[in-house]
Structure 1
Amino acid sequence: MTDVDVLVVGGGPTGLTLACELARRGVTFRVIDRSPEFHHQSRGKGIQPRSLEVFDDLGVVQDFLDAGASEMPARIHMDRRFIAELHLLAGARSRPDVPYPTLVLLPQWRTEQILRARLAELGGHVERGLRLTGLKQSDSQVVAQLATGEVIHASYLVGCDGGGSAVREAAGITFPGLVSETEHYLLGDVEVDGLPRDGSYVWYAADESSVGLALLPGTSAWQFGLTVRPGEEGAGQEPSLELFQRLFAQRTGRTDVRLHNATWLSRFSYKVRLADRYRAGRVFIAGDAAHVHPIAGGLGMNTGIQDAYNLGWKLALAVRGQAPHSLLDTYERERRPVAESVLKTSGAGMTALFSTKPLMTFLRDWIILPLMRNPAVTRAIVSKTSQLSVNYRDSELSVGDKGKVRPGDRAPDSPCRHPVTGERSRLFDLFRGPHFTLLQFDAVVPGLAECLDRLHGNDIRVYQLESGPPSRRYGAGRGTLVLVRPDGYVAVRTRSGDAVVDYLKTILVA
């Protein structure tokens, strides 16, 4: 007998996203976090477009758009000399297929605050000050031991508890990768006098040092970041406001800028690590517990959010007995390659921005930065890190015909007429919720909707779309059927109603 269906360990963005997913599917769960209080730290400060689409599905995207900012020029200096102002986030406009085209900047504590509020609306909450000390598992359950002496029995356990994951260690999952012993970063949240509050700043130097100040929208604070190597001042020292101020003045030459009112001071090493597996029996890991990234583009946090989005619907079907447990194996097979790719992308981004080796210096100063002044180039860079191109084309869950939008691709948005009400709508409005969605383009397969309703009820919704923007966006001719997964990826593209029925029989128990 279990206490809950799922125990989520870790109440950060990954754990909260997963909890919201489980809550709206009627799965019983608990979310525990070892910290006694909610933090107020900036940490990962950017929400990528694909994560905004996740939050659209969860019903909170407008909260993120209202709280954050997408217009933030970056003023780049080299050896104390101003060399460029980059507008990476400017000029991007929503498109019919991409309603959220650019990164939204806001501190991580605000992201978590919004997700906690949504979780509360769904009937859940985070239990603070509860630390996992051990776990055991059998064929039917996981038994989690807490430092308080409490024992929790769950059908499944998911570790969303960060890079130092107690869940990962207790489950015996290894975490290979690179941890730099020669360089680390000082990071913190401070208020700043002496700089206009209309952009962010980076200073590079020929000795390979760097320092940056990034404005945190919706607050009076800035995120301060600085690289430190062995032998330099700051190496081995505990972070302090006085140290931050002294190093800032030394590296920028700006003695007129004052840092004050620090609310968070931290240090961390350059790490690139990827778990050898994401599952050990009934225990899963997600987010930083599974992959640790350099601090480029907030890609680590965003990848974790999408880990949770991928795992949530699969766990819900498994615990309700509506799907074979083998469905849960597709979580690792789909998400681990994504993290592997993101690690390469973020590592390359750090090298391009921070390295002062002669070749990289030449490329950055004479090719990369001049190109980045071109709005078309900056839009391309933002698009590359948006995670909208992430796909599961090689997954066993992606079957059927190829086309403009292939099985395994993100299902794009499009304006449409609502098939039931006739009002103006969007495909994302049809997708929103915990169900599969079948789009029938221009023609109805007789009896298919009734068959699917009889077999699967509310787990699938069937819509007929007339010729128009959606069919052009999907490259769908008359009679094309597109089945969209609950997490917004194309599962099946076909012209056969039997193919859809047979596919769902492998995923959903009638």
Structure 2
Amino acid sequence: MDVLIVGAGPTGLTLGIDLARRGVDALVVERGEHLFPGSRGKGLQPRTQEVFDDLGVLDAIRAAGGPYPDRMIWKDGERLGEESMFEKLDADEGMPYSEPLMIPQWRTQEVLYARLTRLGGKVAFGREVTALTQDGQGVTARFADGTALRARYAVAADGGRSAVRQALGVGMTGEAVDPAPFVVADLRLKGLDRVHWHAFPGDDGGFLGLCPLAGTEDFQLAARLPEGSRPDVSPDGIRKLVARGTHLDAEDVTEVGWASVFRPRAALADRFRVGRVFLAGDAAHVHSPAGAQGLNTSVQDAYNLGWKLGAVLRGGAPDALLDTYEEERRANAAAMLELSTGVHRGEVRRGRATVQLGVGYRESSLSVDTRREAGELRAGDRAPDGTVAGVRLFDTFRGPHWTLLGATLPGLPSLPAPPASYGPGVFLIRPDGYVGWAGDTTRGLREYAGRTGSLTVV
């Protein structure tokens, strides 16, 4: 086996899809008996929508989700007014998706799982990793049932309490974002419309929100409780919490599904790679849920790592390419942690800062720009959408390949000219939709191709 992926959340499933379409032999293992059942990460940022477009799941995701509703503020049973949850951005040719999409995490996982299985990928449920060792040739994982499995590489996508991270001895550095406990739950109720995200600020600094989950009959409850509280997340406890924090009665909550309690924190793993093992998603970084950065950053970890593993395992690229995963993603995760903490504390507004379209890798060793006069778009930046001779760029980018703009080469998807928005030059677009290399001509592509596995013919 080429790759063992530990954890069947959005991170592990995304990576499984990307590897499956590259012909990499990978297995996702999950200690639970089924996919995670809760709504938890419910916001998909525009950049993640672009990722899902490339992976062939965006249509299903959009059909299962919907737009974010405006927030309705309540006090003593009276409506005080409504407000938008985020700064509105206008879509344009280069940015076709400009607003977050709401879809409960369990449904996102269902869509990803269906895509993975259609591609021939597999998830083994009920497989809890209890130990992990590695040598120069591969990784051995041992399971709670006494069995073992061998792979060339392993990826820890098993959450904030990652057993794999602990087995590797990798620490996490972080801080508490809020000293108060939070409760999140999925429930059904009567007495509130499904047009708004209903917010009930408390006099003690707490709050309670009830958000209708697009594509379902459920609401997601999110509540900040007074410091020192001991939350009761039983069905009766959730009903009492709603009755205390709103004008609704306990019996208005007709059904309680998944529920959890947590204290928001921000933490970053000290390393994202240890030999043949990689950390991704919550195993590598833990966010406050404010601003919908955690799940999105995690999906993009997988998207970054997938093409690099494929290049090494199937494209002849050197193993050193895999070092750039930590180089690029750890710095990005640190920035996203600062951002999500700022949103939680009210220092940053949701909008242009949180859609993740500005995330890039200009400082990466993989970003090479040899142009004498570079325009606004640089190597390491996200490659915008656009149209060239009636051909949409995102349609050309879609798939596990690299794309050349501004020149043509045999065996490589190419367009003879980039759109005017790109500025002058030749651009080599990475499989994850970032400009890898830019030059005035194709001179220098051969050397770049040798260390990235990007071209078979140069």
What is the Cα deviation at residue 80 of structure 1? 6.5
Q: Distance in 1 between matches of 2:103 and 2:286?
A: 20
> How far has the Cα of 1:498 moved from its partner?
1.8
Q: Give the direction of change, closer, same or farther, for the CA distance of 1:238–1:383 in structure 2 (3 Å limit).
A: same
The Cα offsets for residues 464-484 of structure 1, whole Å up to 9 and x where unpaired, read as 13xxxx5321122xxx21110
Report whether the alignment pairs 1:403 with 2:375: yes
For residue 351 of structure 2, the aligned residue among 370, 377, 382 is: 382
Alpha-carbon shift at residue 236 of structure 1 (Å): 2.4
Residue 80 to residue 207, structure 1, CA distance change in 2 (3 Å): farther
2: CA distance between counterparts of 1:33 and 1:154? 16
Partner residue, 1:11: 8
What TM-score results when the alignment is normalised by the length of structure 2?
0.94
The reply to whether residue 438 of structure 1 matches residue 404 of structure 2 is yes
**Is 1:127 aligned to residue 124 of structure 2?**
yes
Q: Equivalences for 1:111-510 in 2 at 5 Å?
A: 111-179=108-176, 182-231=179-228, 235-255=229-249, 258-320=252-314, 322-352=316-346, 381-400=350-369, 401=371, 402-417=374-389, 424-440=390-406, 444=407, 449-450=409-410, 453=411, 460-465=412-417, 470-476=418-424, 480-508=425-453
Separation in structure 2 between the aligned mates of residue 255 and residue 180 of structure 1, nearest angstrom: 31
Q: Which runs of 5+ in 1 are unaligned?
A: 354-367, 369-377, 418-423, 454-459
Alignment partners' CA distance in 2, 1:316 and 1:239: 43
Q: Is the 8 A contact 1:155 1:319 kept in 2?
A: no
Shift of 1:313: 0.4
User: How well do the aligned residues superpose, as a CA RMSD in angstroms?
Assistant: 2.1
Asked if the contact 2:201/2:207 (under 8 Å) is kept, the reply is yes
Contact 1:79/1:204 (8 A) holds in 2: no
Query: Within 1, Cα distance between the matches of 2:226 and 2:138?
Result: 47
> In structure 2, what is the Cα distance between the partners aligned to 1:348 and 1:464?
43
Q: Is the 8 A contact 1:314 1:328 kept in 2?
A: yes
Alignment-mate amino acid for residue 64 of structure 1: I
Deviation at 1:429?
A: 0.7
State the identity %: 41
Worse-matched range after superposition: 387-396 or 74-83: 74-83
What TM-score do the two structures reach when normalised by structure 1?
0.84
Give deviations 1:12-67, integer Å, cap 9, x for gaps: 10000000010000000110000012232111001110000001101111111111
* Aligned-residue offset at 1:92: 4.9
Aligned residue in 2 for 1:363? none
Q: CA deviation at 1:256?
A: 8.7
The CA distance in 2 between the partners of 1:54 and 1:97, in whole Å, is 15
Give the aligned partner of residue 360 of structure 1.
none
1:100 aligns with 2:97: yes
Distance 1:78 1:324, change over 3 A: farther
Kindly indicate whether the alpha-carbon contact (under 8 Å) linking 1:89 and 1:103 is maintained by their aligned counterparts in 2. Answer: no
Equivalence for 2:20? 23
Could you list the per-position Cα deviations for residues 104-138 of structure 1 after superposition, in whole angstroms to 9, with x for gaps in the alignment?
10100110000011111110121100000101100
Choose 1 or 2 for highest CA Rg.
1
Provide the rounded CA distance (Å) in 2 between the counterparts of 1:273 and 1:265. Answer: 23
